[in-house]
Each structure stands twice: as C-alpha cells, then as structure tokens.
Amino acid sequence: MEKKNIDWAKLGFGYTKTDSRWQAEWKDGEWQEGGLIEDAEFHLPESACVFHYSQSCFEGLKAYTTKQGDIVTFRPDLNAERMANTCRRLAMPAYPQDEFVRAVVETVRANAAWVPPYGTGCSLYIRPVMIGSGPQIGVAPAPSYMFRVFVMPVGAYFKGAVKPLKLRVSEYDRAAPHGTGHIKAGLNYAMSLYATMEAHEEGYAENVYLDPATRTYIEETGGANIIFVDADNTVVVPKSPSILPSITRRSLVYVAEHYLGLKVVERQVALDELKGFKECALCGTAAVLAPVGQIDTKDGPIQFPSGMEKMGEISARLRETLTGIQMGEIEAPEGWIVKIA
C-alpha cells in the first residue's frame, strides 16, 4: 500500500481530511448498525441539542506503525470505557465498548495509507466523538445521537516536542467541584479556551489548573495530566476527583513501576510543594510526555532543576519506554497493543 505524500518533518497537530470515517446513529432507543462512510460533514437541524446545551463528548487515541511494519493502536479498550463513563454523566447513550474498538480498528484500517511510517515521529490521531444530534429546545437530553470516529496524521502537539515548556498557574478553573472534570466532555474544553488564549498571548504553552474547591492543589492542564519527580526519583501523580483519568498517565505509572523499578505515589499535590520537585512533565495522547521547565505562579516563577534546555532524566526514561512499547521496540504488557494491519 502506498503512503500519502506528506512531509512528515513539517507535520503539526491539526486536522487533515482522510478517506473514511465510522458513523453510527442512536435513534428509536437504540444504536443502529454503524459503518464506514466518506462524507466528512455532519448534517444537523438547527435545533440539535449539541448546539444549545453542549451535549458532546470525545476521545483521543493514536495508531502507530511499529518497527516491524505493523499498524497498531494503544489500549483502545480504555478509551471505550472512559467514553462510556463520560456518556453516563452527560445523559448520553454509551456506544457499546466492543463496537467502539471495532469502529477504531475499521477506521484506521480504511485509512492505512495515512498512517505515518515508523521513524517519522508522527502518528495517526484517532478522534471518536459523540453529539446529541436530535432536536431539543426544552433543557433535556437529545432524542437522537451521532457517534463518529475519524482520523488524521499528526506530529507533535507542542512545537519542539521535547523542549521544556513554560506554564502558568491559571486564575480560572476548568472544572467545578463535583462537576465534569473527570470526564471528556466538550464543555470542559469550551471552559478552557479563553484561559488558553490568554496564556498563549502571555507566552505560556498551557495553563495549570488548581483544584476548584480550595485552589491549593495541582490538578492538570487543559489537555494533559501533570506528573512530578521528587528528589528521591519517586514519581508523584496528583490525585483529585476532577482530573481526567489519562490513559497515558496510567500507562506511565505502570511503566515507572514495572519497567523502570521506580516508586510511584498518587496523592494530593499542593501548589506550595512545587519547589521541591526536580522534574515535571505533561502527559496525554496528544502531548505524549512533554517536559515542563518552569511554572509561573502569582508568587513568582518556579524553575525545575531539569531546566529549560533538556528533558529531565526520569522523564526521558519514561517517555522512551512508553514510546518504545507503542512502536514495537519494547515488549508491551499483555493487551496494550492491538494489531490492526
């Protein structure tokens, strides 16, 4: 199969229209049989619930070409499970989890020519999305839904990929206490857009959000979880009910403990403690593992000893091991890698 003619070295993180997408509709109280389509548009009534009451959610995962030349994806069962949890909280009908994995596999297979080759540093980003598509003017869940999976080749989410980022602690919150921070609802991202634009204008790559109830503990950024490394090389992972349970972060915790023999602690992390950490990194499907060199707070900047020039040693080992597993260079734990073609 001939690959698309793309300059992989210049590819950023953005939309490219690829050949096929998976679509399924929920109507008359059940999911109808899904399948591949070519139309990249949604055709919706002006009264569609998504336009008014933001009934929308999404997922993000990637497909890779391995060293062996296979096309694989990474832990799609966990995205299926998380989307089902998200749907429950948004009063949307969960897409059956085995059908979700099938939709991902079929969509990637149909777009195999778009999967970046091994060694390019690029991957195929997979975006499952669900919307309340039926008419709804009284405030209530939609009477019908669309589930779609589409894909696009992407490069690094943060320019420079492994160059340490500068972040700021945000004065805005992305989630409410007992709200929707732990699910992948579109509304969480709408909440973060103003703060993100402001952060970018001020020269920051991202915002760090604090716990919305007390504003004293570290939560995560708008599109990635945060991890720290302390002076004893223990990986410290912030714990909070309003953080999105990142699949990358959960995988890194396993890698730290089982591949690198590191201690991992999941606990609340106070803003006051930041000065004591020697490394900090963002992690997520899009971000992979991106080092953080500095976080600005209202009491001044905090610079991590790993600095602004290179990634800290533990962060680098975590990143290399995880990407090695995804690219077929390092043996994966049972069930993590799903072969597509």
Kindly list the residues in this chain that would bind ligand COI in the complex (CB under 6 A).
60, 223, 284-286
Closest distance to ligand COI from the beta carbon of 60 (Å):
2
Is residue 310 annotated as a catalytic residue, yes or no? no
Q: How far is the CB of 248 from ligand PLP (least distance, A)?
A: 3
- 244 and 182 Cβ atoms separated by less than 8 Å: yes
Q: How far is the CB of 176 from ligand PLP (least distance, A)?
A: 14
338 CB-side CA count, 13 A: 19
DSSP 173: -
Please tell me the distance from the alpha carbon of residue 24 to that of residue 148, in angstroms, as a whole number.
6
**What does the block give as tokens for 340?**
């597509």
225 binds ligand PLP (CB under 6 A): yes
Rounded to the nearest 10°, the torsion over CA 316, 322, 327, 333 is 150
Residue with tokens 């839904």: 145
Among 247, 262, 281, 325, binds ligand PLP (CB under 6 A): 247
In the complex, minimum distance from the CB of residue 209 to ligand COI, in angstroms, rounded to a whole number: 13
d(CA 224, CA 181): 12
Residues 6+ apart with CB under 8 A from 335: 75, 77
Calculate the CA dihedral of residues 140, 142, 147, 150 and round it to 10 degrees: -80
Among 248, 306, 315, 321, binds ligand PLP (CB under 6 A): 248
Number of C-beta neighbours around residue 85 at 10 A: 15
- Among the listed ranges 84-92, 138-146, 243-251, 292-300, the one in contact with ligand PLP (CB under 6 A) is 243-251
Q: Residue 204 pairs with which residues in a beta bridge?
A: none
Minimal distance in Å, beta carbon 255 to ligand PLP? 13
Residues β-bridged to residue 190: none
Question: Between 72 and 286, whose beta carbon lies closer to ligand COI?
Answer: 286
User: Per CB under 6 A, does 220 bind ligand PLP?
Assistant: yes
The interface with ligand PLP within residues 46-65 (CB under 6 A) comprises 60
Quick one: which of 80, 244, 253, 311 contacts ligand PLP (CB under 6 A)?
A: 244
Which of ligand PLP, ligand COI, none does 220 bind, CB closer than 5 to 8 A by kind? ligand PLP
Asked if 326 interacts with ligand PLP (CB under 6 A), we say no
Active-site residue, from 10, 27, 62, 184 = 184
Query: For residues 60 and 96, which CB has a smaller minimum distance to ligand COI in the complex?
Result: 60
| Residue 266, SS3 per DSSP | strand
Kind of pairing between the strands at 21-27 and 235-238: unpaired
Task: State yes or no: residue 314 binds ligand PLP (CB under 6 A).
Answer: no
Q: Which residue is nearest to ligand COI (CB)?
A: 60
| 186-206 core/surface letters (b: 16 or more CB in 10 A; e: else) | bbbeebbeebbeebeeeebbb
**Which stretch in 6-14, 92-100, 222-230, 289-297 sits in contact with ligand PLP by CB under 6 A?**
222-230
Please list the active-site residues.
Answer: 184
Site residues (vs ligand PLP, CB under 6 A) = 60, 220, 223-225, 244, 246-249, 284-285
